Amino acid sequence: MSNLKNILINRKSCKSIWFMRQAGRYLPEFRKIRNKNSNFIKLCLNSELSSEISLQPIKRFDLDSAIIFSDILMVPYALGQNVSFVKDKGPKLSKFDPNIFFKNDESSFSKKLKPVYQAIKITRKKLRREKSLICFIGAPWTLLIYMFGIKKNDKEINSTVLKNKNLNKVLEELIKYLCLHIKNQIEAGADVVQIFDSWAGLIPSNRIKDYCFIPNEKIVEFCRKEKIPNICFPKGIKEKYKEFNNIVRPDGINLDPEIDPLWAKENLKKVVLQGGMDPKILFKTDKEINDKATKYIQTFKDIPYIFNLGHGLLPNTDPDKVLSLINFYRNY
Q: Which residues bind ligand 1CP (CB under 6 A)?
A: 20-25, 34, 40, 67, 69, 71-73, 85, 90-91, 136, 196, 198, 312
Closest by CA to 197, choosing from 181, 219, 228, 177, is: 219
Q: How far is the CB of 71 from ligand 1CP (least distance, A)?
A: 4
Pair 197, 233: CB distance under 8 Å:
yes
- Closest of 253, 223, 252, 249 to residue 237, by C-alpha: 253
Q: Would you say 20 or 212 has its CB closer to ligand 1CP?
A: 20
Looking at beta carbons only, is 70 or 299 nearer to ligand 1CP?
A: 70
Shortest spacing between CB 301 and ligand 1CP, in angstroms? 26
Q: Is 231 left (phi over 0), alpha (psi -120 to 50) or beta?
A: beta
Residue number of the CB closest to ligand 1CP reads 198
Nearer to ligand 1CP, 67 or 208 (CB): 67
DSSP 256: P
Other CB atoms within 10 Å distance of the CB of residue 105 = 9
The DSSP bridge pattern shows strands 252-255 and 65-67 to be: unpaired
Give bridge partners of residue 19 from the DSSP assignment: none
Q: Which is nearer to ligand 1CP, 71 or 251 (CB)?
A: 71
Residue 53 beta carbon to ligand 1CP: minimum distance, rounded to whole angstroms: 8
For residue 165, the minimal CB distance to ligand 1CP (Å) is: 26
Q: Which is nearer to ligand 1CP, 124 or 299 (CB)?
A: 124
What is the number of H-type helices and E-type strands within the chain? Answer: 17, 9
Q: Whole-number minimum distance, CB 185 to ligand 1CP, in Å?
A: 12
Find the shortest distance in angstroms from Cβ 257 to ligand 1CP.
13
* Overall residue count recorded for the chain in this entry: 332
DSSP label at residue 310: S
- b/e map of 149-161 (b: 16 or more CB within 10 Å)? ebeeeeeebeeeb
Q: How far is the CB of 286 from ligand 1CP (least distance, A)?
A: 23
CA–CA gap between residue 45 and residue 52 (Å, rounded): 12
Q: Which is nearer to ligand 1CP, 1 or 33 (CB)?
A: 33
- Of 299 and 321, which has the nearer Cβ to ligand 1CP? 321
Radius of gyration of the chain (CA): 19
Question: What does the CA dihedral 90, 68, 238, 251 come to, rounded to 10 degrees?
Answer: 160
